[in-house]
């Protein structure tokens, strides 16, 4: 087992490793990295490394932001100091077991670059530890799979790309067997890559799969979730398949969720602090405060869990994604779903989160908002929604666009308290850029609607 830098050096020597793959995660949750020689990596272990600041100065298409301060043409895009987290060591089984590590721009205490997503999560997790809580999290993803390659995809009408399997077959054993080599490679490779899955199945929609990742401490859970999305895409490529984690592929089909499951435990991980056997719903007072915190904070931080233009096309009534500020017990029509059947399994599922999120930011948002409720001892006065949560407007509704949600977050004192002013400014500026990029584009919808008749 790898526990120290000496263990890593011994592993590289004993396995005659000539190279190592490294990656950090940008603001959109995209892995940015490189392969370095084993000799170079040994020097990185001892003294850290510089990583180009441009990863926080451009968008997902490598277009340079014109509205951020952390880096840009104004300071020449310098390198920032980055540190490899040796606890993230794993081998990539579909790349000849090349060693792999995640890095970020902070130390163990979360001290470092304010805009780094992994740094933010460390800082919020340390806040939980200081309050006496260990956070146990996991994320589950839904995504579409298509029978095409990148060359084929961009060479055809995108909306007509062929799904992996036709029809609407949620939880189908038959459809899972139809492309079983890909299906089983996903499960087995993820396990070997340190992303253990609790379950993998087809979801409703053509070519849609869903995977539930095994829970763990929040930083481990976020690492697994980030690596899962890229792993799925890389494994899919090897089968002539493309996978998308877009929140909404088609207005005619359900969207892709990235639901976050969460609970707080004592520091010895012996007691689930969300469970109370004597409560009618088996919910502790702490859990109720945590839920109240999320309900209160969601409008102040929605872009962290719905970060793209496309995210808000998923958050529509009757499409298995919430639209109202609601909670319920085992209710899939509410924003927050309480699962409290067992002492160890009592947890909260935040269903607003889409599959297109940066997991570090989504989990940071969930935990920070919950801790806000505990710190401020917010009462859960809002009753649980029973039945159709889409019709429960008692606590209001969610913002309906990225532009609206970003404007609210940018001016929010609550968001700045939770995530820090520097992060809120940078992140909201990137979301405003996203809105401007969309507003400047001419869509297929416009062409079809206006080309001839207007």
Q: Is the dihedral of CA 230, 234, 235, 239 positive or negative?
A: positive
Within-domain flag for 123: no
Tens digits of per-residue pLDDT, 223-244? 999 999 999 999 999 999 999 9
Q: Does 149 have pLDDT greater than 90? A: no
181 and 62 belong to one structural domain: no
Within-domain flag for 446: no
pLDDT at 180: 94
153 and 278 belong to one structural domain: yes
Tens digits of per-residue pLDDT, 397-412? 999 999 999 999 999 9
The DSSP line for 62-123 is -PBPSS-SSSSTTTT--EEEEEEEEEEEEEEGGGTTEEEEEEESB-TT--B-TT-HHHHHHH
Closest CA to 293 of 384, 409, 381, 400: 381
CA distance 439 to 384: 38
200 and 271 belong to one structural domain: yes
Q: Does 107 have pLDDT greater than 90? A: no
Q: Does 47 have pLDDT greater than 90? A: no
Q: What is the CATH number of the domain that holds 347?
A: 3.30.590.10
Closest CA to 426 of 118, 116, 219: 116
280 and 350 belong to one structural domain: yes
Percent of the chain with pLDDT over 70: 99
Within-domain flag for 115: no
90 and 229 belong to one structural domain: no
Q: Does 96 have pLDDT greater than 90? A: yes
DSSP state of 315: S
pLDDT at 151: 82
Q: What's the whole-number average pLDDT of the chain?
A: 95
Section 120-139 average pLDDT: 97
CA distance 204 to 350: 20
The total number of structural domains that make up the chain: 2
Percent of the chain with pLDDT over 90: 90
256 in Cβ contact with 143 (< 8 Å): yes
Which of 380, 398, 416 delimits the end of a domain? 398
Closest CA to 297 of 138, 420, 426, 408: 408
263 in Cβ contact with 346 (< 8 Å): yes
Q: Does 159 have pLDDT greater than 70? A: no
Within-domain flag for 434: no
260 and 336 belong to one structural domain: yes
Least reliable range by pLDDT among 46-60, 124-138, 143-157, 400-414 = 143-157
Q: Does 19 have pLDDT greater than 80? A: yes
pLDDT at 1: 76
pLDDT at 121: 97
Within-domain flag for 70: yes
CA distance 322 to 388: 10
CA distance 190 to 181: 14
pLDDT at 154: 79
Within-domain flag for 119: no
214 and 353 belong to one structural domain: yes
Which of 90, 105, 120 delimits the end of a domain? 105
Within-domain flag for 420: no
Q: Does 158 have pLDDT greater than 80? A: no
Which of 398, 425, 442 delimits the end of a domain? 398
95 and 236 belong to one structural domain: no
Tens digits of per-residue pLDDT, 265-317? 999 999 999 999 999 999 999 999 999 999 999 999 999 999 999 999 999 99
pLDDT at 444: 87
332 and 366 belong to one structural domain: yes
Within-domain flag for 101: yes
178 and 63 belong to one structural domain: no
3-state secondary structure of 285: helix
pTM, rounded to two decimals: 0.96
CA distance 253 to 256: 10
180 and 281 belong to one structural domain: yes
pLDDT at 2: 83
85 and 195 belong to one structural domain: no
- Domain extent at residue 328: 130-398
The DSSP line for 151-206 is HHHHTS-GGGPPBSS-S--TT-HHHHHHTHHHHHHHHHHHHHTT--EEEEEE-SST
Q: Does 439 have pLDDT greater than 70? A: yes
Tens digits of per-residue pLDDT, 315-368? 999 888 999 999 999 999 999 999 998 999 999 999 999 999 999 999 999 999
Q: What is the CATH number of the domain that holds 80?
A: 3.10.20.70
Section 15-42 average pLDDT: 97
Section 173-180 average pLDDT: 91
């Amino acid at each position: 087992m790898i526990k120290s830098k000496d263990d890593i050096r011994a592993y590289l020597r004993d396995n005659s490793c000539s190279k190592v793959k490294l990656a950090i995660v940008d603001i959109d949750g995209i892995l940015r990295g490189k392969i370095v020689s084993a000799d170079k990596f040994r020097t990185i272990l001892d003294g850290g490394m510089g990583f180009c600041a441009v990863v926080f100065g451009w968008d997902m298409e490598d277009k340079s932001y014109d509205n951020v301060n952390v880096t840009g043409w104004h300071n020449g895009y310098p390198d920032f100091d980055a540190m490899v987290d040796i606890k993230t060591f794993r081998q990539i089984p579909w790349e000849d077991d090349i060693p792999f590590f995640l890095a970020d721009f902070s130390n163990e205490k979360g001290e470092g670059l304010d805009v780094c997503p992994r740094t933010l999560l460390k800082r919020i997790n340390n806040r939980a530890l200081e309050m006496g809580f260990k956070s146990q999290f996991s994320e589950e993803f839904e995504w579409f799979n298509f029978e095409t390659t990148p060359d084929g995809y961009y060479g055809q009408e995108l909306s007509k790309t062929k799904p992996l399997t036709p029809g609407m077959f949620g939880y189908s054993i038959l459809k899972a067997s139809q492309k079983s080599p890909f299906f089983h490679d996903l499960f087995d490779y993820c396990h070997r890559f340190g992303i253990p899955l609790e379950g993998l199945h087809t979801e409703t929609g053509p070519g849609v799969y869903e995977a539930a990742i095994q829970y763990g401490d929040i930083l481990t859970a976020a690492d697994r979730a980030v690596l899962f999305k890229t792993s799925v895409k890389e494994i899919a490529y090897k089968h002539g398949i493309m996978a998308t984690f877009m929140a909404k592929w088609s207005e005619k089909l359900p969207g892709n969720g990235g639901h976050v499951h969460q609970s707080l435990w004592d520091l010895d991980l012996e007691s689930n602090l969300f469970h109370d056997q004597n409560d009618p719903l088996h919910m502790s007072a702490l859990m109720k405060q945590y839920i109240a915190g999320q309900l209160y904070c969601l409008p102040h931080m929605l872009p962290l869990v719905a970060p793209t233009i496309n995210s808000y096309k998923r958050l529509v009534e009757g499409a298995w994604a919430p639209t109202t500020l609601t909670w319920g017990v085992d209710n899939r029509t509410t924003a927050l779903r309480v699962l409290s059947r067992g002492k160890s399994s009592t947890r909260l599922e935040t269903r607003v989160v889409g599959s297109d999120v940066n997991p570090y930011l989504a989990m940071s948002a969930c935990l920070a908002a919950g801790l806000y409720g505990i710190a401020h001892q917010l009462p859960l006065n809002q009753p649980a929604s029973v039945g159709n949560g889409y019709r429960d407007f008692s606590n209001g509704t969610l913002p309906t666009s990225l532009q609206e949600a970003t404007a609210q977050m940018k001016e929010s004192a609550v968001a700045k308290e939770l995530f820090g002013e520097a992060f809120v400014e940078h992140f909201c500026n990137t979301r405003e850029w996203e809105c401007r990029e969309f507003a400047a584009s001419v869509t297929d919808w416009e062409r079809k609607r206006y080309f001839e008749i207007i």
